[in-house]
Structure 1
Amino acid sequence: MDFLRPTTLAEALRAKADNPDAVPIAGGTDVMVELNFDKRRPKALLDLNQVPELATWTEDDETLVLGASVPYATIIRRFADIAPGLAMASRTVGSPQIRNRGTVGGNLGSASPAGDAHPALLAVNATVDLASVRGSRSVGIHEFFTGPKRSVLEPDELIVAVRVPVATGPQQFAKVGTRNAMVIAVCSFGVALHPKTGSVGTGIGSAGPTPLRAEDAQLYLAAELEGRWNDPKPLPDNVLREFGQLVGAAASPIDDVRGTADYRRHALSVLARRTLAWAWQDYSSGRWAA
């Protein structure tokens, strides 16, 4: 197995073009597990730890641009105020050691339906920046995933950054697992309220061949909230229940060792009700802005 170690983004892109089968590695929290269990034996590893362009970030009033190698721990520590949903999801990833090494770029690269960052990114309509020696392009997160552990990423491309819109309203994330930490999600859900546009974003994880949006639930809730943004009283139980049912209906789960399809739909309904109630409480109290 060859080990490639570029020190600039240009070198990394050239190495990927010359070795399209090379597997990128940064934190290694997924790749090393596959190697250790002999589930993957690539011809080459492309180490991105020495590429400084991938480990930086920028922010302005509208967008947080996270380099692909920025670890979860940094997101939790620095960006919980402007990307709260992603920070919440990051806190549920593995152990502190894994959060210090694992990255959103790696999460996207694996394209697992159970990736913890994916629901939060879907809920805010994030964008993924891709690059190769042929040029660069940006792909909406809702277009990025094409199947279980498959994405639009071409063999010669690398994930360079993720563009996360700065929060304009409260966001929440929750997941169900066989225990509270260091576990793959049985299912997960993220919700984002966007008061400025009167819209709602959702993201479903580990309940379909790809991470999903609950589009009918988004439209329903946006209509229900239309007259409530300026007078945010508690949401009626029937609104919370209907939102939860629509989220559960949007899923396409399967039975596997972690849970049945019916359980996943039920759990998603519960998560949707709870996260919406928390988010609306944050909005009505003004706590999210503080």
Structure 2
Amino acid sequence: MSVVITGATGHLGRLVVDRLLDTGTPAGDIIATGRDVAKLEPVAARGVTTHRLDFADPAQLEAVLAGADRLLLVSTTTAGERFDNHRRAIDAARASGVKRLVYTSTLNADTARMRLAEEHRRTEEYLRESEVPFVILRNGWYLENYTGQLPLIRRHGVLLGSARDGAVSGASRRDLADAAAVVLTQDGHEGSTYELGGEPFTLSDLAATIGEELGTPIAYQDLPVDAYAEALIGAGLPADLAKILADADAGLARGELYTDSDDLPRLIGRAATTLRDAVHAALTHGNA
């Protein structure tokens, strides 16, 4: 069985490669791909085949996928280009006879109105019409999106957002990678769409949890969407990214990043990582 992983230079893709290796998939059966092959050297050292892969090059896509049984299509990150990238990958998978394509989407992609959901929804529709056997993983908002902010939150004593009292079903990248490894290697998932989220929390809950773990009060300050985007820009984020993240908070407020599904713990065979565990680990390991 040949398994191709796209985006293996990123956090999620790399974790999937590691999980496949750790659960017994032979290194010679794994093809890890990305734009910067140098970043794939650690997995190449473990015996994994690596290839440069550019979604803008259909011929390269077909060459890499030739003979592949299974493909993990990790959604690309550049807004506005995602759907075309995904479409070309799906077309190449069909032409190459890929027997299972696993796509990482977002929670509630069929109903969510936030900007991030649109290209995921279009990709899902295209994939369903493609006749390529598929599994869709609607991944929840990464807990790391929040733990990565801990140094700034700690410095200023405040968590900013625009989510009001909406609940987010956050999930760790490791849990989501474990779920991807399961559906890549086990049978019985074809045609399924899984909503993958952990224990839900509000941003007020997040602020309180951070404060408890730090031993100092942390306030949650809710801002209008435009004001939150400006605050993110002031913190150094590119304007386009800041607007997308602020828009995602607006979606969070509408319930678009919440699920009551138990798909994630069922797939990985254990409880999902909790918010408190994620915050505690980030603080303990010196990441904040």
Given the two structures, how large is their TM-score scaled by the length of structure 1?
0.32
Highest relative contact order (Cα 8 Å, sep 6+), 1 or 2?
Answer: 2
Give the number of the structure whose residues are more often strand, by fraction: 1
- In terms of fraction of residues, the more helix-rich structure is 2
